[in-house]
């Protein structure tokens, strides 16, 4: 019997998922750019963003984590309003006939905090030095009805481009277990793990991942 703290999918399965993602990433990114639009999030968007985040957490993590593990993971997830005020947080929209539908949200940051929402402990809003310290990819969420359609990779490319334009040479993120295959397919490598223990010994695993930004 697998230990309760071991990942639901073993590393071989993760690598297989990553390989499949790599094969389709270019196509999905191309489709996403032609299908979706993006804009900076504003404070008025917060209710819609929070609603999307809750749906994403509840549905998109089921294949990887138990309900108890999902509950614990929420301590390090959610909206950080600093990103909106810094103008580094984006929403992805699909435009139907008469309205824009929110399908994803995410962004980047020039601050030290790597992950977590307004409620998360251990935040550090001091600034990163672009020449010596990495930028951050932050708070990536896709609506359950719009997964595997290039929303996540589009958000990553937007954040990476903005961080590169700000002079950063590297970028890092803190991923939940379900997000690892996407980030691997986009060139991120694991550099460490943070393990937070909750009630009854249930663990919340955050995978720290890093990527060198190209000079394009």
Query: What are the tokens at 56?
Result: 């994403």
**Cα 94–78–32 angle (5° rounding)?**
25
Would the pTM count as exceeding 0.85? no
Which residues, 6 or more positions from 76, have their beta carbon under 8 angstroms from its beta carbon?
115, 116, 117, 120, 174, 196, 204, 206
Query: What are the tokens at 168?
Result: 């950063």
Q: Is 163 helix (H, G, I), strand (E, B) or coil?
A: helix
Closest to 41 (Cα-Cα) out of 96, 99, 115, 100:
100
CATH among 3.40.50.300, 3.40.50.20, 1.20.1440.230, 3.40.630.30 for 11-212: 3.40.630.30
**Can you give the pLDDT of all 216 residues of the chain as single tens digits?**
444 444 444 555 545 555 555 445 544 554 455 589 999 999 999 999 999 999 999 898 888 888 888 887 877 788 999 999 999 999 999 987 778 899 999 999 999 999 998 888 788 999 999 999 999 999 999 999 999 999 999 999 999 999 999 999 999 999 988 899 999 999 999 999 999 887 777 888 999 999 999 876
Find the helix packing angle between 11-35 and 151-165, rounded to 10°.
80
Per-domain boundaries in the chain = 11-212
What does the pLDDT read at residue 11? 55
Strand segments, DSSP code E, in 36-134 are 36-40, 89-95, 100-109
């Amino acid at each position: 019997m697998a230990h309760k703290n071991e990942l639901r999918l073993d590393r071989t399965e993760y690598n297989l998922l990553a390989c499949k993602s790599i094969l389709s990433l270019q196509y999905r990114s191309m489709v996403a750019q032609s299908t979706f639009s993006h804009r900076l999030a504003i404070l008025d968007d917060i209710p819609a963003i929070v609603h999307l985040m809750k749906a994403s957490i509840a549905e998109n993590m089921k294949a990887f984590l138990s309900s108890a593990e999902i509950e614990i993971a929420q301590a390090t997830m959610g909206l950080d309003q600093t990103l909106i005020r810094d103008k580094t947080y984006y929403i992805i929209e699909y435009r139907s006939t008469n309205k824009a539908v929110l399908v994803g949200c995410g962004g980047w940051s020039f601050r030290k905090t790597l992950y977590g929402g307004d409620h998360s402990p251990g935040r550090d809003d001091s600034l990163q030095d672009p020449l010596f310290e990495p930028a951050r990819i932050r708070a990536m969420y896709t609506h359950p009805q719009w997964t595997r359609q290039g929303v996540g990779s589009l958000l990553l490319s937007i954040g990476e481009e903005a961080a590169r334009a700000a002079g950063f040479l590297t970028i890092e993120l803190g991923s939940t277990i379900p997000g690892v295959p996407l980030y691997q397919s986009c060139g991120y490598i694991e550099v460490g793990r943070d393990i937070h223990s909750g009630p009854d010994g249930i663990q919340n695993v955050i995978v720290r991942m890093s990527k060198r930004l190209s000079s394009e």
